Amino acid sequence: MGIDREKIKQAVRLFLEGIGEDPDREGLKETPDRIARMWEEFERQREFNFKLFEEFGQYNEMVVVKDITIYSFCEHHLLPFFGKAHVAYVPDRVVCGLSKLVRTVKAFALRPQVQERLTAQIADFLMEQLKPKGVAVVLECEHLCMSMRGVMSPGHITTTSALRGIFLSDIRTREEFLKLIGKKL
């Protein structure tokens, strides 16, 4: 679909008027354009080349990147939710550069989301790209829509997980993953 800079600018201007602000005042007059540029920046992070490598030295064990900082937006209020992502896979002859796991997380996070769907999309994309023996994704996020409005209850961490392949079928693989990301069994 792509980013329509003009539409964003018009919408932000109207929104500012809607909350009783003067969109032409100093400080706000560049805001519609800033927000349009910000979303263009997010969109650029969605596109990347997922390069695969033949396995380095026959590595067939689990690869885990933990504590990836993640920022997303809840699709209900367009307020951020943010926290940590832990991503693992067990390769089947090919591996990817580690940064591609981080890029995958960012690519799916930087759009209106719910945490459950985001978790599943990351896992499914990695299954498709790497065709590994399995993928595991755990997200731990705080939702500002629960912290600063609505129920107004800050400090809660929502945990979601998506397990695919061997992480579902083999309890030892799942336990190893949980141990490596520092979770109790």
Residues that bind ligand GTP (CB under 6 A): 74, 76, 114-116, 143, 145-146, 150-151
* β 52-54/94-96 pair status: antiparallel
- Closer CB to ligand GTP, 41 or 116, in the complex: 116
- Closer CB to ligand GTP, 63 or 145, in the complex: 145
Outline where DSSP puts E strands in 58-174.
63-74, 80-90, 94-96, 112-113, 134-143, 158-165
Residue 145 is labelled as binding a ligand: yes
Please, what is the minimum distance in Å from the beta carbon of residue 175 to Zn ion? 33
Q: Which residue has the tokens 């100093």?
A: 26
Among 86, 115, 141, 176, the one annotated catalytic? 115
Kindly state whether residue 118 participates in binding Zn ion, applying the rule CB under 5 A: no
Is 76 catalytic? The answer is: yes
Q: Which residue has the tokens 């540029």?
A: 37
Return the H-helix or E-strand segment holding 171: helix 171-180
Residue 96 is labelled as binding a ligand: no
Of the residues 12, 16, 70, 74, which one makes contact with Zn ion according to CB under 5 A: 74
Show the binding pattern over residues 75-94: x = contacts Zn ion (CB under 5 A), - = does not. Answer: -xx-----------------
* Stretch binding Zn ion (CB under 5 A), from 61-69, 103-111, 116-124, 138-146: 138-146
Residue 141 is labelled as binding a ligand: no
Could you give the maximum distance between any two Cα atoms of the chain, in Å? Answer: 63
Q: What is the DSSP string of 107-127?
A: HHHSSEE-HHHHHHHHHHHHH
* Stretch binding Zn ion (CB under 5 A), from 36-44, 128-136, 139-147, 171-179: 139-147
**Measured between alpha carbons, how far is 175 from 185 in angstroms, rounded to an integer?**
7
The residue type at 23: P
What amino acid positions are annotated as catalytic residues? Answer: 74-77, 115, 143, 145
**Binding site, residues?**
74, 77, 145
